[in-house]
Amino acid sequence: MPWQNLLQTHQRLPAASSLEAWYAALLARLGTPSPFELALLGGRLAATPGLAFLAGYQGALRKLWLSAPWSLGALCVTENKSVRPADMQTRLSGLQLHGRKDFVTAGDAADWLLVAAREELPAQPVRLALGVVRNGDPGVRVETLPSLPLMPDIGHARLYLDGAHCERLAGDGWDDYVKPFRSIEDLHVLTAVGAWLYGVGQESNWPQALQLRLLGLLAGCAEVARKDPAQAATHLLLAGLFAQFAALDAELHAAFAAGPADWAALWQRDCGLLSLANSARGKRLAKAQAALGLHL
């Protein structure tokens, strides 16, 4: 685990002209990191919470698909604000994809796109596959969406697929990819943002106790990263990490208020990124407690 690299003082990578350029500079600095290292050290080197998120997101994608190219990628699931397989209209026929994905994080910058699509025959139960397409290939069109108030430096896009040829990944699209990615992404983004905060704390001379608590959180993330994301115990441990992070809120607020205004403004703008999936995490926690027979 690259703890020495995290603990050392680093010169952050400034925001670049594009996400692709920033990510290329990050890989030039890190080489070929593991998914967790990409999240941890990418978050530490990021100039903004949004870029830390990007590092965590890319780490999560590589944890999901170990053979992923080193260029930027994105997972494409959402249709009409839903990720339920039964609500999806995108379909895989042979090795051709038809349909639309409405909200793809970093989709405008992604080189490759993992697309969840239905593949069952008529009258059969819904079944998902996961196909890989390249941005710019025939039948693949990406439409950039307006930036959002939260993480405006990370774009979003709509994806149109019209007979796009794809590579189908082995396994079930839902059970092997989309479902576990929720927890994988949560963990790697928490790691990246925690590392970003630790770096700000180093540079701003935050109280030692707060810096140590952030390190403890990151150590917990490293341990959970070793676990099977589909297991109930992993969901429980991940919920514990988010509870640990939530308990730092007052200390973080005070530390930012006492430090440089630029850091405080960035955190005030983007601190909500870790609460985006609170509802889904709560449901997974309840299911994990029931599966383990726990009443916390």
What's the confidence (pLDDT) of residue 10?
74
pTM for the whole structure = 0.96
3-7, 251-255, 286-290, range with greatest mean pLDDT: 251-255
- 73-168 folds as Butyryl-CoA Dehydrogenase, subunit A; domain 2 (2.40.110)
Name the band, by pLDDT with cuts 50, 70 and 90, for residue 140: very high
User: Buried (b) or exposed (e) across 271-282, using 16+ Cβ within 10 A?
Assistant: bebbeebeeebe
Name the band, by pLDDT with cuts 50, 70 and 90, for residue 6: confident
Name the band, by pLDDT with cuts 50, 70 and 90, for residue 11: confident
Task: Give the mean pLDDT of 1-19.
Answer: 82
Task: Give the mean pLDDT of 4-33.
Answer: 90
Q: Rounded to an integer, what is the distance from CA 157 to the centroid of its chain?
A: 16
| Start-end of CATH 2.40.110.10 domains in the chain | 73-168
3-state secondary structure 30-60: HCCCCHHHHHHHHHHHECCHHHHHHHHHHHH
What's the confidence (pLDDT) of residue 38?
97
Task: Give the mean pLDDT of 247-256.
Answer: 97
Average pLDDT, the chain: 95
- Give the percent of the chain with pLDDT over 90: 89
CA distance 138 to 48: 35
Question: Is the Cβ–Cβ distance between 115 and 98 less than 8 Å?
Answer: no
| Whether residue 195 has pLDDT greater than 90 | yes
65: how many CB neighbours lie within 10 A of its CB?
19
What's the confidence (pLDDT) of residue 2?
67
What's the confidence (pLDDT) of residue 276?
85
Tokens at 288, concatenated: 């994990």
Angle, alpha carbons 55-51-146 (nearest 5°) = 120
CA distance 92 to 79: 15
For residue 69, give the nearest of 42, 32, 104 by alpha carbon. Answer: 32
What's the confidence (pLDDT) of residue 294?
86
Instruction: List, in order, residues 6 or more apart from 85 with CB less than 8 Å away.
Output: 116, 118, 126, 127, 128, 174, 178
Name the band, by pLDDT with cuts 50, 70 and 90, for residue 9: low
Q: Rounded to an integer, what is the distance from CA 28 to the centroid of its chain?
A: 21
**Which helix (H) or strand (E) element contains residue 102?**
strand 96-105
CA distance 43 to 33: 13
Task: Give the mean pLDDT of 166-184.
Answer: 97
